[in-house]
Amino acid sequence: MPGGQRDGRQGGVLPIKLGGSVITDKERPFSLRLAVAERVAWELARAAQEQGLSYVIVLGGGSYGHAAAKMVREAGASAPEALSIVTGAMAELALAAADVFSMAGLRPVLYPPHAFCRPRGLRPGCDWGLVVEALKAGVTPVTYGDAYPCGGGWCIVSGDELLVEAACAVGASRAVYVSDVDGIYGPDGRVLGEASLQELRGLAAAAGRRSGYDVTGGLARKIAALAENRCPGLASVWVVNGMREGRLYRLLSRWDAEATLVTL
């Protein structure tokens, strides 16, 4: 990969978001990609053991949260019904993922955002002190995109926002988005080895004007989350393909796998 910031230090806490497009099948509501989730969990566990890493894991909604949110909106469900259904769907996904993480030896503990966060706009406002204490105890905190009560109704807090705020709260210098694509694509259709946040803003604006051009689903939301929640200590985030066997492990082991490095 091209030059740039390559933090070779071992150890530390690494916040990592497992996109719903990786661990779930978005074409089938409420379906976990068990084989993929198991492989990703073992790659995380192997890198943690070899590199002395601890993780804060954030789960995307995938075919659970997104499917539930779409269902309640189309049905015109009341706020209490929507909150119950969407938070229940994400709890189901989190419990299934926690089982997989446990089998890999990651010792997960779940933190539902509707119970420990007070979101305001793009700021999740979570009590990350609880997560810091969990890390000290040697477990792996797991949180996820979720629904929460707001203004007498219900709103969504995104895993993208949670990842960045978590990284700043635990003092991480970098974070990782695990997606189902090889990275962020440039206008020529090639994966960018490296880009600044400002450059990505330009790409997202161009993508909005260009028919048929897709720069990693949710890029605009990721940019907004980074811009709103970043802090001086967070120097970079990576976008890596979790569907490619071994690529996540190589990234966490050497930080030179095929992926996109976003400098902040």
Domains of the chain: 12-263 (3.40.1160.10)
Q: How far apart are CA 30 and CA 11, in angstroms?
A: 35
- Residue 165's alpha-carbon distances to 64, 117, 168, 211, 219, in angstroms, are 23, 11, 5, 32, 17
Token digits for 167? 């990284």
Dist. CA 209–CA 140, nearest whole Å: 41
Helices 219-229 and 197-209: angle between axes, nearest 10 degrees? 150
Spatial distance between the Cα atoms of 101 and 190, rounded to a whole number of angstroms? 33
- State residue 188's pLDDT score: 85
Dist. CA 134–CA 141, nearest whole Å: 7
| Angle, CA 102 vertex, CA 258 and CA 260 arms, to 5° | 15
**What integer pLDDT is reported at residue 238 of this predicted model?**
96
- pLDDT less than 50: residues of the chain: 1-9, 209-217
Residue 106 and residue 83: Cα distance in Å, rounded? 29
Q: What is the pLDDT of residue 207?
A: 60
Helices (H), 140-189: 159-169
Residue 263 pairs in a beta bridge with 196, 236
Radius of gyration of the chain, Cα coordinates, nearest whole angstrom: 17
Distance CA 84, CA 169 (A): 29
Strand partners, 217: none
